[in-house]
């Protein structure tokens, strides 16, 4: 199948599945890539925790921050479905900076991320990205704001109403009545920008090699492995990734490394038009699209 025909078929599948998607798969050895609307800007949700980890660890490496220094973290008080870690603690806790980076990156712990953002605020994270030559990713707010959505004001059995609002309250220009879904107010990124970030972590770049290696290890220990992982992990591959979820948004970025040395960066950013909290079909569909693009690229089918 030609690339044009394949992309047409995948777009059809996404449309029928109620998903709007932005995908990009890049061969990190050759630079060849294939994607679907990779320039479309999305609110990044928890994907922003990867640039945050880079920025904090660069400061640790430079001696600006002591990775062993304990930080007092207040309990998150989160009761809605999804968040884990300190976000659900009932009492304050003292956690070392290095361990906060682990919790933020591997467990997507919003309270840990907010504690790190107090040490390294959004403008410092943005400056780190610029210094590394990375563009297209914005960092505008604390991670805790991701949990202050209409879901907080609804009963547990009314989550579909918040998803209906998320689907219907957007504008043609990617604005939104919900601030966390408004690309002018939220932290944002594109599939291309996050693929560039992955390339900077897995190949030589302006990110310090020790910092890049640490972030790669963190992403390899990601505990949230229900989305793209089933289609990319095997005895002959490793999959290192970070997910991002917010209302009707479902994202994942990662790198699949094959035993023969091949490496592919994968970015999948999606929004659903289906007003439901749990959508395993959407998770499976976005994984299948990403895997199909990788398979096409690996087979040398780009034309």
pLDDT in tens, 231-251: 999 999 999 999 998 888 999
Output 2-8 pairs: Cβ under 8 A, ≥24 positions apart. Answer: 2/301, 2/303, 3/34, 3/296, 3/301, 3/302, 3/303, 4/303, 6/292, 6/293, 6/296, 6/301, 7/34, 7/36
* CB-facing half-sphere around the CA of 58: CA atoms within 13 A: 20
Quick check: 211 and 57 in contact, CB under 8 A? yes
pLDDT band for 185, please (50, 70, 90 cuts).
Answer: confident
What pLDDT does residue 219 have?
A: 98
Q: Which residues partner with 95 through β-bridges? A: 71
The CA distance from 142 to 80, in Å, is 18
Asked whether residue 144 carries a pLDDT value surpassing 80, the answer given is no
pLDDT tens by residue, 33-83: 999 999 999 999 999 999 999 999 999 999 999 999 999 998 876 666 667
pLDDT tens by residue, 188-200: 999 999 999 999 9
What pLDDT does residue 164 have?
A: 56
Nearest Cα to 99, choosing from 76, 74, 77, 116? Answer: 116
The CA distance from 34 to 36, in Å, is 7
**Three-state SS for 219?**
helix
| Burial class for 228, CB neighbours closer than 10 Å (0-12, 13-18, 19+) | buried
How much is the pTM? Answer: 0.89
Q: What is the sign of the dihedral through the CA atoms of 29, 32, 37 and 38?
A: positive
What pLDDT does residue 176 have?
A: 56
What pLDDT does residue 161 have?
A: 44
pLDDT tens by residue, 158-169: 444 444 544 554
Quick check: 241 and 219 in contact, CB under 8 A? yes
What pLDDT does residue 245 have?
A: 87
């Amino acid at each position: 199948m030609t690339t044009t025909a394949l992309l047409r078929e995948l777009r059809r599948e996404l449309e029928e599945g109620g998903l709007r998607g932005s995908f990009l798969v890049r061969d990190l050895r050759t630079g060849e890539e294939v994607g679907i609307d990779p320039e479309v800007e999305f609110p990044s949700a928890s994907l922003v925790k990867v640039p945050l980890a880079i920025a904090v660890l660069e400061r640790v490496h430079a001696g600006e921050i002591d990775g062993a220094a304990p930080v007092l973290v207040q309990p998150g008080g989160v009761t809605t479905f999804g968040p884990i870690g300190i976000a659900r603690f009932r009492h304050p806790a003292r956690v070392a900076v290095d361990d906060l980076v682990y919790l933020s990156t591997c467990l997507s712990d919003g309270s840990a991320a907010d504690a790190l953002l107090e040490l390294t605020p959004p403008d410092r994270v943005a400056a780190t990205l610029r210094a590394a030559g990375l563009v297209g990713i914005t960092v505008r707010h604390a991670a805790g704001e991701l949990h202050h959505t209409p879901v907080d004001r609804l009963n547990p059995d009314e989550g579909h109403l918040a998803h209906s609002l998320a689907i219907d309250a957007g504008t043609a220009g990617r604005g939104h009545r919900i601030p966390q879904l408004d690309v002018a107010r939220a932290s944002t990124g594109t599939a291309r920008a996050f693929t560039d970030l992955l390339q900077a972590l897995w190949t030589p770049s302006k990110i310090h090699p020790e910092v890049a290696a640490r972030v790669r290890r963190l992403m390899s220990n990601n505990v949230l492995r229900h989305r793209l992982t089933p289609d990319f992990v095997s005895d002959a591959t490793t999959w290192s990734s970070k997910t991002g979820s917010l209302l009707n948004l479902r994202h994942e970025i990662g790198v699949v490394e094959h035993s023969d040395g091949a490496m592919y960066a994968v970015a999948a950013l999606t929004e659903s038009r289906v007003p439901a909290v749990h959508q395993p079909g959407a998770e499976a569909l976005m994984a299948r699209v990403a895997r199909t693009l990788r398979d096409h690229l690996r087979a040398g089918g780009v034309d």
